[in-house]
Chains A and B, each alone.
Chain A
């Protein structure tokens, strides 16, 4: 026998005259050899079933907070899709009141059509769709090829700079034919234009849509009353749209050139549509043909074409742009999301802004009084803001009844 008090490292000696028995496993699990498969199958099934049970049922994952981006609203299955995106009314988070924004959404209905093409649908128009398109009451993406899924309208035009005015004409004709009653104002934008639709509503609320007028970034050459920059976007009243489409039907306006914005401006001038002043009540521009960085920080050289094109005096630096800016152009996809975040999400808590825009007049007053820049009292630089942007210039305008 062996020593039982010390640490034995070797197993007790077997009978050395007979070979050792078969591996012990078969002794431990009776019938193993024939049951190898079912056993391992059972282990696998048991593990998998328990895993699914635990992670599916017993250990719930936290729900992500609901998205506050304007959501894709799915049509019921089987609906043949018309290439329209319907807008979503403004929403408010806790501690926020969006009542006035919602009222304007109902009252100042805007149809936005975005100039795009098959080549830029997924690279540019997609980011428009993901950001500001849903804030319009109706949004349409105008391409030369229909795309049911995006959705995009296929206009009977070709792609290319020389076709831009044709595309514009066809787009407005399409809108007039299919969507006239859905909106009061009709905005054209590019797929690299960023638009703050709420501010467009503020701008337009003071103007009745049956007035023949259009707004945008006003340029002065080539047309007596000037014309609006195509890239910065421009918006037609319902009456302006009616006159434009009718003019093409009657031959009063024709395809005069490929320079879309200028040709547009010349036709509208011809049919008596007024080129509006889109500046805010402090005289600052709201439509911008370049990205924010350019307007805020660039010093435009004296020979730069922009200097001779602007209808109103150029202001460089922070006063270039209204707090209630409507558009910026040449905005990349990444910048779209960044601007969406800076405009609609990030804010300085508790901050009372310097510029306090007046509320637009109610609809029955709007036709009677001017609405736009009130130059009589521009703010002295650096002074604290008066409680409302300007005291009423004359007693007759003191209050809305």
Chain B
């Protein structure tokens, strides 16, 4: 009898010790992982709401004007419907927007790149942008025509960030060892990153025009590789609750996912209140987004915001 209870006690001790060991190992492993990739897998956050409440109206206007965003939209003639929608909707809120097209189109003004290859288009667009606008803008936002962006929320997100630091921000994806910003969600570069990029684009060893030896790499991955050589790493943008602010899917798609994963809290679980981009949108959806974001609102709520943005001239859908 005594020997049996003895064995029992030994068993309990052994079991407990084993459990603690396994738990401890699990936690150490996780901690180690994030530390090792700390400088690559940043979770970059929006500014705190409290920081910004003590500015006068004039100070807020000045602050708002100081964050200047230049928008690059990469388009091809086949995207004409989306191109038109982007032109008529959110791109009017960029400080300056230009459409970089694979080839010239009669209907719209564009910067003709004379190439159909997306990586070549991206290289040329960034090069031209740097040459022409390096002294005029501090932030550079690149998007495809299926993306809808809220530039005001982008500016708020960038509020306390120093553009002379190498920022490369968006919705990040990990592919093996490479962390890159998914082009679908939009790509944000600070002037410092753009400067470094323009230098490394000349280096055909580190950043060749024909990327990828056996099969072609997607252009957003190529960009990440080139930037990595200059010490610029991708960072995933999130709000204070950890929700992504750059989205590679549409509101509808994200709502559908939320309806199946947490049907009791669909809107809460879906998307950030200060989302910057959604993607995979048809041209009509851009008009709905424009109305839903900039105009449709419930009467009786006012906000104490640190920034002040006025509607752009020559527009009536915002």
* Physical interaction between A and B: yes
- List residues of chain A with CB under 8 Å of any chain B CB: 29-32, 34-36, 38-51, 54, 59, 65, 67-69, 90, 92-104, 130-131, 196-199, 201-202, 292-293, 296-297, 317-319, 321, 323-325, 333-335, 337-355, 357, 381-382, 384-385
Contact B307 A334 (CB under 8 A): no
Which 3 pairs across A and B sit closest by C-beta, in order of nearness? A42-B11, A46-B15, A101-B300
For this complex, into which size category does the number of interface residues on chain B fall? 35 or more
- Chain B's closest residue to A291 (CB) is B288
Q: Is B20 an interface residue, CB under 8 A from the partner?
A: yes
Q: Is B217 an interface residue, CB under 8 A from the partner?
A: no
By a CB distance below 8 angstroms, the chain A residues around B292 are 292, 339, 342-343, 346
By a CB distance below 8 angstroms, the chain A residues around B287 are 293, 296-297, 318
By a CB distance below 8 angstroms, the chain A residues around B311 are 351-354, 384-385
By a CB distance below 8 angstroms, the chain B residues around A38 are 4-5, 7-8, 11
A306 to B23, CA, bound (A): 66
Contact B300 A334 (CB under 8 A): no
A348 to B309, CA, bound (A): 9
Please tell me which one of the listed residues B267, B285, B293 contacts residue A348 in the complex, with CB atoms under 8 A apart. Answer: B293
Within 8 A of A (CB), among B76-127: 93
Contact A337 B12 (CB under 8 A): no
Mind listing 6 A-B residue pairs with CB under 8 Å? A94-B50, A98-B300, A198-B298, A321-B291, A323-B295, A342-B293
Q: A39-B7, A337-B267, A349-B156 are in contact. Are A324 and B299 (CB under 8 A)?
A: yes
Contact A42 B12 (CB under 8 A): yes
Q: A95-B303, A338-B255 are in contact. Are A382 and B267 (CB under 8 A)?
A: no
Q: A41-B8, A337-B258 are in contact. Are A293 and B285 (CB under 8 A)?
A: yes
Nearest Cβ distance between residue A231 and chain B, in whole angstroms? Answer: 19
Within 8 A of A (CB), among B134-171: 150, 152-153, 155-156
A347 to B64, CA, bound (A): 17
By a CB distance below 8 angstroms, the chain A residues around B284 are 293, 296-297
Within 8 A of A (CB), among B282-318: 284-285, 287-311, 313-318
Contact A350 B308 (CB under 8 A): yes
- List residues of chain B with CB under 8 Å of any chain A CB: 3-20, 23, 49-50, 53, 60, 64, 93, 150, 152-153, 155-156, 241, 251-252, 255-256, 258-259, 265-268, 270-275, 284-285, 287-311, 313-318
A315 to B316, CA, bound (A): 13
Q: A38-B5, A49-B16 are in contact. Are A357 and B11 (CB under 8 A)?
A: no
By a CB distance below 8 angstroms, the chain A residues around B241 are 65
Number of A-B contacts (CB under 8 A): 264
Q: A296-B288, A342-B296 are in contact. Are A67 and B268 (CB under 8 A)?
A: yes
Contact A338 B251 (CB under 8 A): yes
Q: A297-B287, A340-B267, A354-B311 are in contact. Are A95 and B53 (CB under 8 A)?
A: yes
Contact B296 A323 (CB under 8 A): yes
Q: A39-B11, A46-B19 are in contact. Are A345 and B49 (CB under 8 A)?
A: no
By a CB distance below 8 angstroms, the chain A residues around B259 are 333-334, 337
A98 to B285, CA, bound (A): 29
By a CB distance below 8 angstroms, the chain B residues around A98 are 300-301
- Chain A's closest residue to B2 (CB) is A31
Contact A42 B10 (CB under 8 A): yes
Contact B3 A345 (CB under 8 A): no
A344 to B18, CA, bound (A): 50
Contact A319 B19 (CB under 8 A): no
By a CB distance below 8 angstroms, the chain A residues around B310 are 352, 384
Nearest Cβ distance between residue B95 and chain A, in whole angstroms? Answer: 14
By a CB distance below 8 angstroms, the chain A residues around B309 are 348-352
- Chain B's closest residue to A94 (CB) is B49
- Chain A's closest residue to B157 (CB) is A349
A391 to B222, CA, bound (A): 56
Q: A323-B297, A337-B267 are in contact. Are A97 and B303 (CB under 8 A)?
A: yes
Nearest Cβ distance between residue A235 and chain B, in whole angstroms? Answer: 15
Nearest Cβ distance between residue A180 and chain B, in whole angstroms? Answer: 26
By a CB distance below 8 angstroms, the chain B residues around A324 are 297, 299
By a CB distance below 8 angstroms, the chain B residues around A381 are 316
Contact B19 A47 (CB under 8 A): yes
